Amino acid sequence: MAANPNKAIDRIRELEGALVDLRVRLETITSGLAQDATNTSLVIRRVNTMKQIMVAQSEIDTLRSTLRGT
């Protein structure tokens, strides 16, 4: 099924904005871990944030690939 290019571009923009926010969150969490490396809650939050970044980036890559037709 061919994706609507306008919807795909809008979704990419949305995801890119979310990635910026997620990366800021990751930096904040990482800074917290530098202060307290044994904080299990921060470790879990960091792993979950990294997973969200990976999922968002993967979706962006898929959408871009679809737009290029490859």
| 53-70: average pLDDT | 93
Q: How many CA atoms lie within 13 A of 41 on its CB side?
A: 2
Task: Please write the tens of the pLDDT for every residue from 4-48.
Answer: 889 999 999 999 999 999 999 999 999 999 999 999 999 999 999
Q: What pLDDT score was predicted for residue 4? A: 85
* Total-model pTM: 0.87
- Written as six digits, the tokens of 8 are 């795909």
Residue 61: HSE in the Cβ half-sphere, 13 Å Cα cutoff = 6
Residue with tokens 């990751």: 26
Pairwise CA distance, residues 11 & 62, whole Å: 11
